[in-house]
Structure 1
Amino acid sequence: MIDLVVDRLYYLVAFLLLGVGTYTMIGSENLVKKVIGMNVFQTGIFLFFIVSAFVDGASPPLLTASEPYVSPLPHVLILTAIVVGVSLTAVALGLTVRIYQEYGTLSEEGIRQVIADE
């Protein structure tokens, strides 16, 4: 049983990151904490995707390497997803700054109260 947990430790960490990110996004009232939770969730997805693409004993897909080969596609997709994640984080934080300038708070409940008072 311990060997199975040690062999699949990266999966456990990936699902832990997914859980922590989801909890942070759902449970927090602060918009900045929600953005941080989204980043933690994305990191869990990245880790899961890379770990699931791992092939034990495989080599890079070069002409001089022996079979089996590792597919470079998951790594390319994760690099693209990282760039999209950074862009999404920048937009989310920019919107958060604008919301703070408009309403004077980053709390969801505070924003609702300000909107209701207007």
Structure 2
Amino acid sequence: MSLAKVGAVVLDCPDPHALAGFYAGVLGGTVVDEEDWVELKVPGGPVVAFQTAPEYVPPTWPSPEGSQQFHLDLTVEDLDAAEKEVLALGAKPLDADDRARTFRVYADPVGHPFCLCAC
């Protein structure tokens, strides 16, 4: 028996509506708007929520002086096709040059790192 379960993964950002739109484009799901708090309800997955952080500073990756805090691993069937789509949605490549690996690293439009991972 577990003590708790994940209710939501919450990302700070300057504009929760815009970032929820980005992740809805990547993950699908339904965006539920509550002003400074926006939720993305993804079927079969945890809620991904976005909250306003006026002083938001994106993490640096990679950085020996800083921390990325956390990142999302998103599994995909086709790395090349998924890469094309996330770049079109506004992601930026951070470490996607090694085509032999089973994952590639990107930043969302406000700088949170995430990986596309082959399943």
Structure ranking higher in helix proportion: 1
Band the TM-score falls in, shorter-chain normalisation:
under 0.3
Q: Which has the larger radius of gyration?
A: 1
Structure ranking higher in strand proportion: 2
